[in-house]
Amino acid sequence: MTLDLTQFHEIFFEESFEALDSMEAALLKLSAGEVDAELINTIFRVAHSIKGGAATFAFNEVAGFTHVLETLLDQLRAGKRQVRPDIVDVLLRSGDAMRAMLVATQRKEAIDSAGVAKLRAELERIMSESPSAAPPAAATAAPSASKSVAASGSPAPAPGWRIKFVPGPELLRHGNDPLRILRELATLGKMRVSVDAAGVPALTDLDPEVCRLRWNLEVLGQIDRAAVQAVFEWAESECELTLERIGAEPSAPAAPSVATAPAPEAATAPVSAPAAEASTRSANPDGGSIRVSIEKIDELLNSVGELVITQSVLSQLAAPLEGREAGELRSALAQLERHMRALQESVMRVRMLPISFVFNRFPRLVRDLGQRLGKKIELKVTGDTTELDKTVLEKIGDPLVHLVRNSIDHGIEMPDVRTAAGKTEHGTISLHAYHKGGNVIVEVSDDGGGLRKDKILAKALERGLVTNEVELSEERILNLIFAPGFSTADVVSDVSGRGVGMDVVRRNINELGGHIQIFSTQGQGSTIRIRLPLTLAILDGQLARVGKEVYVVPIVSIVETIQVTRERVNNVASGGQVFRLRDDYLPIVRLHSLFDIEPDYTDLLDGLLMIVEADGKRVGLFVDELMSQQQVVIKSLETNFKQVTGLAGATMLGDGRVALILDIPGVITRFQAPEERGIAKPQAA
């Protein structure tokens, strides 16, 4: 019976992509001048592991290219060649090529063979150069060996490793091939093989998927233990493995030294330990973790949400009951509520991942783009263990890339400009994440030249986004950079200047139910602060009643709630109304007109105005009454009905009623464009 290896493909791809992330992080440390033997061992192990897996699954192009890369890494690891900036650059591009090849293989698409061949030629050219001089530690090995011979009076046994390899019953079923392992081991040095076939049963009892052979091996040479263990890495949990050193302890190779050629000065932040841990835990069964599809977790979270709603309904039904049994029932329901909340939080934590999974892409981005623009930039990362829902994490990546690229291109000045301004040559970009008030705050800061408000305002006037008649606050001027197509770049390049970045950033943040703010001081730098919900499944909301309908307003969008006085209200020519809030005039949005329902009050003095904000715009929502604040489980309207402008979803309240969840950016859009709802713009009362 032939073993179907395709069942293991997805696991191989997932683990390979995680390994390539750790390889890139190690290479970036080398690029920053942090040369360490363990870093090179890490890079070598990644290449070796991917090569072995690719060969097992007959991904021959991946295995062939990685074999050449592994050969160069082996030279660096043995100290036969020095780490140089140009070599690190080629290794980084090789990692990119491996990732592209794996993606193409996974999608069953054609591999860019021409690009791979060109990069392979670069690797072979480097290996054809005369290697650097051996490290001093290696040179002293021979004399010490001579002294050993003289002292003992007889030659010391050849160094190497004695290995006992006993395959487990699941080895073959999990796609590991003992013969491939032996071939890999033979590449490390001269090998002697002795096979023990005593455990092989009669042919009639033979199970072709269970390996009954055992091997006693000797591999001779100055070989590091890690190199031997790396050969068995894929089979380590499926076999019994014993390593015994033969002869003298091999001299540890000296840490490779950096060549004297000047390295590009682009410092980067190391990958956080928690991020690396998370990858290991998910990839290694021995770590006590398992891989579960996100669809199964979503189903579980949805079921828990339904249970929370049912528990809330039961609590409401039990509230008016009286008597001893009613008291016991309410006590039991209160205990049930505590357990349900704990269960809900536990399930939500399953979906949570550290933001380091997003932050880890930026050291490479800052290094490459900084070098390309001729800027010296240091990246500082803090709070990368802050956790977010997986869905939020996936959608925040692209907006952060836009912001970091803008900081590199527009924010950080050229070294000579910084020096003339009394700054250090190296600019600093900071990524900072932290929890605050049930939300996650992500800040992107730089110590560059800051935003020029006069230039932003001039460009906005030129494009007709504002007029001279309106006096804008500093905050509103800065928010003009989020207008579609807005750009202050003098030269359009492939980095920036086309005005297709910042409006996309704001739109993506709004779709996540988040909020974005910008702060800048000319000559000192800028900070963009993003407030995000912890999860998209549950929302902290304020209940507001209009007539018989109850709406949920996301608390993150609420600025304040006020009762207006008549002297603050003004009618405008279009038929709407505005009210004065300190030094600003805000439009009044009557929810009963917007959604065509019957309110309790039409006079502004009888109801309340909720000041809400989105896209840098503020409006006052006119409602009859504010009710309680509570967490609600979000149900999609698109799944169960259709998308409605101004509504983000629906939820079930404790009394069994359905409440609609307002999408504040959509409400503002619906108010400003009456054709969205097919009715006339609301008139003044």
Per CATH, the number for 5-132 is 1.20.120.160
Q: How far apart are CA 83 and CA 39, in angstroms?
A: 11
> Buried b / exposed e across 668-680, counting CB within 10 Å, b at 16+?
bbbbeeeeebeee
Q: What is the pLDDT of residues 301-351, one digit of tens each?
A: 878 878 877 887 888 788 888 888 888 898 898 898 888 888 877 887 888
pLDDT tens digits for range 506-535: 888 888 878 888 899 888 999 999 988 877
Print the SS3 string covering 129-143.
CCCCCCCHHHHCHHH
pLDDT surpassing 60 at residue 25? yes
Tens of pLDDT, residues 179-194? 878 888 888 888 888 8
Tell me what pLDDT residue 29 has: 85
Domain 354-533 has CATH 3.90.230.10: no
Whether 163 shows a pLDDT value over 50: the answer reads: yes
- Ranked by mean pLDDT, the top range of 349-363, 462-476, 664-678 is 349-363
Which CATH fold topology does 538-676 show? Answer: OB fold (Dihydrolipoamide Acetyltransferase, E2P) (2.40.50)
Give the separation between CA 427 and CA 445, rounded to whole angstroms.
Answer: 11
**Is residue 74 within a helix (H) or strand (E), and if so which, with residue range?**
helix 60-77
Residue 660 contacts residue 579 (beta carbons within 8 Å): no
Q: Three-state SS across 450-504?
A: CCCHHHHHHHHHHHCCCCCCCCCCHHHHHHHHHCCCCCCCCCCCCCCCCCCCHHH
Residue type, 523: G
Point out the least confidently predicted range of 131-135, 211-215, 579-583, 602-606: 131-135
Q: Is the pTM higher than 0.85?
A: no
The pLDDT score that the predictor gives to residue 266 is 35
Q: Are 614 and 558 in contact (CB under 8 A)?
A: no
Q: For a pLDDT cut of 90, what percent of the chain falls above it?
A: 15
Q: Tell me the pLDDT band of 673, cut-offs 50, 70 and 90.
A: low
**Phi and psi at residue 195, to the nearest 5°:** -105, 140
Question: What pLDDT does 288 receive?
Answer: 59
* Burial of 610 from C-beta contacts in 10 A (0-12 / 13-18 / 19+): buried
Summarize pLDDT for 577-621 with one digit per residue, the tens: 888 888 788 899 999 988 889 999 988 888 899 999 876 778 999
Phi first, then psi, for residue 352 (nearest 5°) are -80, 140
> Rounded to an integer, what distance in angstroms lies between the CA atom of residue 243 and that of residue 89?
36
Query: pLDDT digits over 60-102, tens only?
Result: 889 889 888 888 888 888 888 888 888 989 999 999 999 999 9
Angle at 36 between CA 33 and CA 42, to 5 degrees: 115
CA distance 63 to 53: 8
**Angle CA 71–75–79, to nearest 5:** 165
The CATH code of the domain at 157-246 is 3.30.70.60
What's residue 156's pLDDT?
55
